[in-house]
C-alpha cells in the first residue's frame, strides 16, 4: 500500500469539560501505542475580545470613526494593550477591566492545561503545555497546526458550554477546516476495532491509508465498509454490486500487514455506517471529509457530516 507513517505528533485540544476529558483518555491511549509526542492546547477567549463588542464599547465612549482608522484597531491600541489612564477621547470602561477578565481566563486555562499535563505524566507520557489567547479559536488552532506540523488533532465532541450537544460548534468547524486529520472522541472511547468507510473517492482513499497505518501501529483489526446507494441498487442491482465489490477490492489491495475484512451494504450511506458501527461493536469510525458529491474542500460531505453529528463512537475525519 502507499507509504504512510502512523501519526507521531498529536495535538490535544482541551477546555476542561467532560467531553475534553474523554478525548484526553483517548489521547493517552494513542500516545502510548504510537509512542507519540503530545501538545496540550487551550485557547482562551472572552466576550470583550470580540470586535463587535469592542466596537460597541468604542461607540459608547464617543470615539469618532475616521477614514484612517478602524474602531477595533483603536480599541486594541488604547484598551487591549494595557493603558491605565483615560484617553483624550474621554472616559471608558478601563483597560484594567479587560485585563482582569483576561487574567482570570488565562489562570483558568493554565490550570486546565496543567491538570491535563499531570494526567499524561502519571501515565508516563510527556506532554507540552500551551495556552494561547485569541478571539478566533479556529484561527489560533490552525496557526498552531501550521507552525508545529502536527499529524493528528484530538478533541471532544462538545465544549464546556455545549454539554448537551452531540457535536459542538468547534468540533464541527475543525472537522470542516483542518488540513490534518481530526479525531472527535466520545465518552469511553477505546481503540480496539476500526471501521473504515470507503467509496472510491480520493478523500476516502486517504482516510483508508491513514486508518491502515493507525490500525497497524496499535494492533487493531479493521473492517472496510462500502455502502451502495439504495436508489441505484434498486434500479441496477447487479451493476451496483459489481461497482461496490470493485471499490472494496481496490481498497483491500492497498492494505498489507494488518488484519481486516470487507463488508458490502446497501442503503443510506450515513445511516448504514452508523448502523454497522453500532451492531458490529466498532469503537472508531474512519471516514473521508468528503465523497464524490462534495462541492469544495472546505465543506464536509453530507455523509461525513451526518456521521459526525449522530455517531455514538469516536470519529476520525481525514481530508
pLDDT digits (tens, 9 = 90+) for 187-210: 888 899 999 999 999 999 999 999
* Beta carbons of 133 and 106 less than 8 angstroms apart: yes
DSSP secondary structure of 22-64: HHHHHHHHHHHHHT-EEEEEEEE--GGGSHHHHHHHHHHTTPP
Record the pTM: 0.81
The 10 Å Cβ neighbour count of residue 153 is 26
Looking only at the bridges linking them, the beta strands covering 152-155 and 194-197 are: unpaired
Q: How far apart are CA 224 and CA 316, in angstroms?
A: 14
pLDDT at position 50 over 80: no
Q: How far apart are CA 131 and CA 108, in angstroms?
A: 10
What does residue 11 show for φ and ψ, rounded to 5 degrees?
-110, 115
Looking only at the bridges linking them, the beta strands covering 152-155 and 127-133 are: unpaired
HSE at residue 106, side-chain half, CA atoms within 13 A, is 9
Q: What is the pLDDT of residue 297?
A: 35
pLDDT at position 129 over 80: yes
Distance of CA 296 to the CA centre of its chain: 18
DSSP secondary structure of 254-314: T--SS-EEEEEEEE-HHHHHHHHHHHTT-SEEEEES--TT--STTS--HHHHHHHHH-SSE
- 170 closest CA partner among 156, 188, 191: 156
Work out the average pLDDT over 229-240. Answer: 74
Work out the average pLDDT over 122-140. Answer: 94
State the pLDDT confidence band at 318, using cuts at 50, 70 and 90.
very high
Cβ-based neighbours of 213, under 8 Å, separated by 6 or more: 4, 5, 6, 7
* Beta carbons of 240 and 228 less than 8 angstroms apart: yes
State the pLDDT confidence band at 81, using cuts at 50, 70 and 90.
very low
* Beta carbons of 148 and 39 less than 8 angstroms apart: yes
Using one digit for the tens of pLDDT, what is the confidence trace for 145-163? 999 999 999 999 987 665 5
Domains delineated in the chain: 9-43+110-184 (3.40.50.620), 47-93 (no CATH), 194-318 (3.40.50.620)
Q: What is the pLDDT of residue 292?
A: 46
Amino acid at each position: 500500500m502507499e507509504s504512510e507513517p502512523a501519526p507521531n505528533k498529536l495535538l490535544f485540544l482541551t477546555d476542561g469539560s467532560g467531553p475534553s476529558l474523554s478525548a484526553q483518555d483517548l489521547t493517552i491511549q494513542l500516545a502510548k501505542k504510537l509512542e507519540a509526542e503530545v501538545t496540550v492546547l487551550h485557547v482562551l477567549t472572552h466576550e470583550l475580545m470580540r470586535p463587535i463588542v469592542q466596537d460597541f464599547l468604542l461607540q459608547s465612549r464617543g470615539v469618532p470613526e475616521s477614514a484612517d482608522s478602524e474602531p477595533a484597531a483603536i480599541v486594541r491600541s488604547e484598551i487591549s494593550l494595557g493603558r491605565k489612564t483615560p484617553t483624550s477621547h474621554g472616559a471608558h470602561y478601563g483597560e484594567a477591566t479587560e485585563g482582569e477578565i483576561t487574567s482570570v481566563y488565562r489562570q483558568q486555562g493554565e490550570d486546565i492545561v496543567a491538570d491535563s499535563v499531570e494526567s499524561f505524566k502519571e501515565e508516563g507520557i510527556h506532554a507540552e503545555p500551551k495556552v494561547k489567547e485569541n478571539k478566533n479559536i479556529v484561527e489560533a488552532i490552525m496557526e498552531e497546526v501550521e507552525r508545529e506540523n502536527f499529524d493528528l488533532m484530538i478533541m471532544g465532541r462538545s465544549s464546556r458550554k455545549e454539554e448537551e450537544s452531540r457535536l459542538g460548534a468547534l468540533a464541527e468547524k475543525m472537522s470542516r477546516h483542518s488540513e490534518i486529520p481530526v479525531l472527535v472522541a466520545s465518552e469511553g472511547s477505546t481503540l480496539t476495532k476500526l471501521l473504515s468507510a470507503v467509496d472510491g473517492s480520493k478523500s476516502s482513499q486517504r482516510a483508508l491509508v491513514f486508518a491502515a497505518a493507525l490500525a497497524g501501529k496499535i494492533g487493531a483489526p479493521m473492517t472496510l465498509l462500502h455502502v451502495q446507494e439504495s436508489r441505484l441498487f434498486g434500479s441496477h442491482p447487479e451493476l451496483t454490486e459489481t461497482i461496490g465489490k470493485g471499490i472494496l477490492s481496490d481498497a483491500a489491495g492497498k492494505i498489507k500487514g494488518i488484519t481486516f475484512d470487507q463488508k458490502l451494504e446497501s442503503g443510506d450511506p450515513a445511516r448504514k455506517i452508523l448502523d454497522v458501527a453500532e451492531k458490529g461493536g466498532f469503537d472508531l469510525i474512519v471516514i473521508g471529509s468528503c465523497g464524490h458529491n462534495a462541492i469544495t474542500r472546505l465543506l464536509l460531505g453530507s455523509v461525513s457530516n451526518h456521521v459526525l453529528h449522530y455517531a455514538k463512537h469516536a470519529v476520525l475525519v481525514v481530508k
